[in-house]
Amino acid sequence: MYIRQQNSITPEVVHALSPLLDLLPMEERRMLERSAEVVEYKRHEPIYNEGESPNHLYVVLDGAVKVYRQGVCGRCQIMRMLGAGSFFGYRASLAHEPYVTGATAFGPATICCVPMNLIHQVMAKCPSVMKFFVEELAKDLGVSDKRMVSLTQKHVRGRIAESLLTMREVFGLDTEGFIDLDLTRQELADYSNMTTSNAIRTISALVSENVISVKDKRIKLLEDELLLRISLMG
């Protein structure tokens, strides 16, 4: 973790924060811009940990982030994957409770941090900011409800298919048409609630069936509708 010392507020930062900044009157806007920090995280570096007390709102500027929870016997469940532009880490603070999840950089990532006490402050002043968080939380809860049923009811194949479609949605494609994210089979397993072997096997099978293709740590989706069908069937 390396905190950029100066010139934190580049145009990119302003752009990433714009969903919030655009809602603020000039004074608050300046305040928020001044206290925003940009931090570089290395691959697998934790951003915050389960049980800690939440002090920051985070925004992904570049790279990818996973939010996960340690379950039975330390088994990791990746709850969400976040790409550039995503806000995270604020829920626990808004609920006035410690983090129930941890967050880690997938690969090298650039993250913008804003102190939560400042967020609480501007929320109190600007109803539109509060509304922003109401909508974020309400949407996330809907996604969570759907995901709960997917993870508990779908079979391994269906869960992998759903994960792949979600990942493409979140991270988009690179220049060669692969999902723009490097992840290991283990991480795919942790996201899809299965063992690493099952993730490996299922990916291998889908490759040999020409439903997807793999190159290095990247995956390309070849048969969209088929994947969707696999995902829906369970």
Partner DNA sequence: CATAAATTATGTTCTTAAACATAAATTTCC
Partner DNA sequence: GGAAATTTATGTTTAAGAACATAATTTATG
Q: Which residues bind DNA (CB under 7 A)?
A: 43, 155-157, 184-186, 193-198, 200-201, 203-204, 214, 216-217
| Sequence-ordered list of residues with C-beta below 8 angstroms from that of 6, at least 6 positions apart, any chain | none
User: Residue 120 CB: number of other CB atoms within 10 A?
Assistant: 15
Q: Is residue 49 within the footprint of a second copy (CB under 8 A)?
A: no
Encoded one letter per residue, x for contact with a second copy by CB under 8 A and - for no contact, window 7-46 reads ----------------------------------------
Contact 47, 60 (CB under 8 A): no
Q: Choose the contact partner of 134 out of DNA, a second copy, none; CB within 5 to 8 A by kind.
A: a second copy
Report the sign of the C-alpha dihedral through residues 90, 93, 94, 98, in that order.
Answer: positive
Q: Is residue 173 within the footprint of a second copy (CB under 8 A)?
A: no
Q: How far is CA 126 from the centre of its chain?
A: 26
Least distance CB 200 / DNA (angstroms): 4
The Cα 97–Cα 119 span in angstroms is 16
Q: Contact region for a second copy (CB under 8 A) — 18-26, 68-76, 177-185, 214-222?
A: 68-76
CA angle 66, 168, 84 (to 5 degrees): 50
The Cα 62–Cα 78 span in angstroms is 19
Per CB under 8 A, the list member of 127, 173, 186, 204 interacting with a second copy is 127
The Cα 26–Cα 145 span in angstroms is 38
Encoded one letter per residue, x for contact with a second copy by CB under 8 A and - for no contact, window 187-206 reads ------x-------------
Footprint on this chain of a second copy (rule: CB under 8 A):
69, 71-73, 75, 77, 79, 91-92, 94-97, 100-101, 123-124, 127, 130-131, 133-135, 137-142, 144-154, 158, 193, 233-234
